[in-house]
């Protein structure tokens, strides 16, 4: 929650009496809680992918008949797998 958002809420509520202040503070608390829950869900999703080592489908195959899908590790090696997981963690921390 930024100061600008708080000021906007106060302005929108008119700040005519103490009830307005209470309502504004409740809305600030609610929005802040929602932001934290969103961040927590994002981090949990990233950690779950990493813990379960969920690599993407490659859409490629190792045989001409296209019956045996090529794994991410097969195409990019263990370093590629690790870099993919590192990017998931980095993206979650950066956003």
Range of the domain at 87: 53-95
73 in a structural domain:
yes
Domain co-membership, 25 together with 60: no
Same-domain pairing of 34 and 62: no
Q: Beta-carbon neighbour count of residue 55 at 10 Å?
A: 15
Count of domains for the chain:
2
Instruction: Tell me the whole-structure pTM to 2 decimals.
Output: 0.65
Together in a domain, 64 and 30: no
Looking at the structure, tell me whether residues 36 and 58 fall in a common domain.
Answer: no
- Mapping DSSP onto H, E and C, the string for the chain reads CCHHHHHHHHHHHCCCCHHHHHHHHHHHHHHHHHHHHHHHHHHHHHHHHHHCCCCCCCCCECCCCCCCECCHHHHHHHHHHHHHHHHHHHHHHHC
| pLDDT tens by residue, the chain, 95 residues | 666 776 777 777 776 444 566 777 888 899 999 999 999 999 999 999 999 999 999 999 999 999 999 999 999 999 999 999 999 999 999 97
Asked whether residue 32 falls in the same domain as residue 62, the answer is no
- Tell whether 66 and 35 lie within a shared domain: no
pLDDT of residue 1: 62
Structural domain contains residue 45: no
Same domain, 63 and 93: yes
**Is the same domain home to 33 and 67?**
no
């Amino acid at each position: 929650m930024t100061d600008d958002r708080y000021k906007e809420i106060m302005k929108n509520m008119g700040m005519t009496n103490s009830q307005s202040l209470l309502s504004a503070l409740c809305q600030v608390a609610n929005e802040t809680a929602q932001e934290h829950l969103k961040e927590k869900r994002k981090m949990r999703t990233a950690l779950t992918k990493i813990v379960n080592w969920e690599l993407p489908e490659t859409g490629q195959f190792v045989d001409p008949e296209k019956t045996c899908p090529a794994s991410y590790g097969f195409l990019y090696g263990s370093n590629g797998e690790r870099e993919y997981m590192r990017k998931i963690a980095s993206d979650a921390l950066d956003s």
